[in-house]
Structure 1
């Protein structure tokens, strides 16, 4: 009895916080999507209406921005995946212990830096008068490409870490056995390691996809005239003072993340998050 009481004492505060602060605010968000606004004062009117939901799914601008946002999130995820897999493989199976430690520090150190500092650093690098232009004579400038580059840099550690952990969990005996049976290094990676590491890759993709999908600061800094869902939602909430429409728009990334999580569920990715 005392053990159960102690366990309940430990669990009640975090569960209450989760239920009230997180799930409660999420419920209010979903409910407020069905409210309206006073056309004269802009005040929220708590009367049921589906106008905001209908507008979200019928407005061509919102559809275009949604497709662009999902496309950017998927592109960033693929780029991070292509960069993280060889790096994580080298860190886990090839690098010396000292080299492994140095690489882990190099990967995780950017996480300690301010988000804004990193985003503005890329703004400076990608500037038409910036160091990239001086060194190569070319820079993509500000826009969609700059947004993808910046987001890929920002979220790469969130892909490298779970993939590195997945490679570390692959027993060396399996790799040695594959080599002893005549398999090439490429075949060993493809047939032995890949199935075991895939849940870690999928776990990393959850981070990169969801973080890119909801980002609105980086695109504001380096995106130029590019608009993504985060910017549209922020604009409706702060500039247009239309909280119900902002809430309705927020349903799109929320639904996209839920569908992505359901798709990743069968891969075992959620056990590696």
Structure 2
């Protein structure tokens, strides 16, 4: 064997690129391939799994149940949607939408001043404490928080005890005696359900609002004051329009989460159903999957209408 030839062949073998080197070069030269590999799996998940299941749900809503056999009739019909117009089902839809709207409205009124203080005045450790205080409830289990509130709102709970200590028990009894929102105790009333919903979803209203207020230039607020605008005028004409996208984003979270929740009203509140509970019961205990699917379409339509109105009002122009 010739030593020179052996050295040359060894050198050629050492210089030959391996698989990973060739793959790296290919990905470097073709940026579109990298983008496809990165976005392919999540887009496949969204397109096939999520949208596919959503389409299957929509299709199920156009089927019906045979009243004699209880089996699903795979024939396209609007009969199931007609059942949503029954008084009992309309009450469920109206009850859920009103509750979601109230939680969103009150949540926005509470979240805005908190978010404004955090965006304009909180600095350093105070701001860090603000984020911890807002996020801390989300670190615990959802069920733990709901059951904790059930104990707090119970007739022998901490809230009733505190109200009794300050002498406001007659006021609580008067509220509980109201025909629609009252009940035997806060844990068995719409007021209790409302308070738990408000507690659960308030962070989802505060954080987007605070992020939007952070982007409002302080110089614009100062300029409004220099031009003679009163605090109320500055709020209506400068602060609120610029912060509106964040408020709308928070309201979308709060409204949609309340619309679809079925665990909270099952643990805290009366025996009257919400949309989430109706879906759970009809697809499980009752076995009426078409009606459950039709109920599931209702929040989608409500959110579509809400987003359309928000878009027409210009809420997304600054996004």
Does TM-score exceed 0.5, indicating one fold? yes
Q: What is the deviation of 1:269? A: 4.6
Q: Does 1:79 align with 2:111?
A: no
Q: What is the deviation of 1:174? A: 1.4
Contact persistence 1:214–1:230 (CA under 8 A): yes
**What whole-Å deviation, never above 9, does each CA across 1:173-217 have from its counterpart, x for those lacking one?**
112223334444443323321111111111111111111111111
Equivalent in the alignment of 1:140: 186
Counterpart Cα distance in 2 of 1:105 and 1:42: 52
Q: What is the deviation of 1:163? A: 0.5
Equivalent in the alignment of 1:89: 116
Structure 1: state its 5+ residue gaps: none
Q: What is the deviation of 1:141? A: 3.7
Contact persistence 1:76–1:148 (CA under 8 A): yes
Q: Does 1:127 align with 2:127?
A: no
Q: Does 1:246 align with 2:292?
A: yes
Looking at both structures, which has the greater relative contact order when contacts are Cα pairs under 8 Å and sequence separation is at least 6? 1
Decide which of 78, 96, 120 is 1:50's aligned counterpart: 78
Structure 2: state its 5+ residue gaps: 1-28, 165-171, 173-184
Equivalent in the alignment of 2:42: 14
Report how many aligned residue pairs link the two structures.
Answer: 272
Q: Does 1:204 align with 2:250?
A: yes
Decide which of 232, 236, 246 is 2:278's aligned counterpart: 232
Equivalent in the alignment of 2:25: none
Q: What is the deviation of 1:267? A: 4.7
Q: Does 1:150 align with 2:196?
A: yes
Equivalent in the alignment of 1:28: 56
Contact persistence 2:187–2:193 (CA under 8 A): no
TM-score, length-scaled by structure 2: 0.80
Counterpart Cα distance in 2 of 1:126 and 1:117: 14
Counterpart Cα distance in 1 of 2:315 and 2:234: 22
Contact persistence 2:153–2:192 (CA under 8 A): yes
Q: What is the deviation of 1:41? A: 5.4
Equivalent in the alignment of 1:256: 302
**What whole-Å deviation, never above 9, does each CA across 1:146-177 have from its counterpart, x for those lacking one?**
11111011000010001000110011211222
Equivalent in the alignment of 2:87: 60
Equivalent in the alignment of 1:116: 143
Counterpart Cα distance in 2 of 1:217 and 1:51: 29
Contact persistence 2:115–2:210 (CA under 8 A): yes
Decide which of 211, 222, 233 is 2:268's aligned counterpart: 222
TM-score, length-scaled by structure 1: 0.92
Contact persistence 1:74–1:209 (CA under 8 A): yes
**What whole-Å deviation, never above 9, does each CA across 1:67-119 have from its counterpart, x for those lacking one?**
11110000000010010000000000022322111111111111121111111
Secondary structure at the aligned position of 2:186 is classed as coil
Q: What is the deviation of 1:39? A: 4.4
Go from structure 1 to structure 2 and tell me whether the alpha carbon gap of 1:11 and 1:272 turns closer, same or farther (over 3 Å shift).
farther
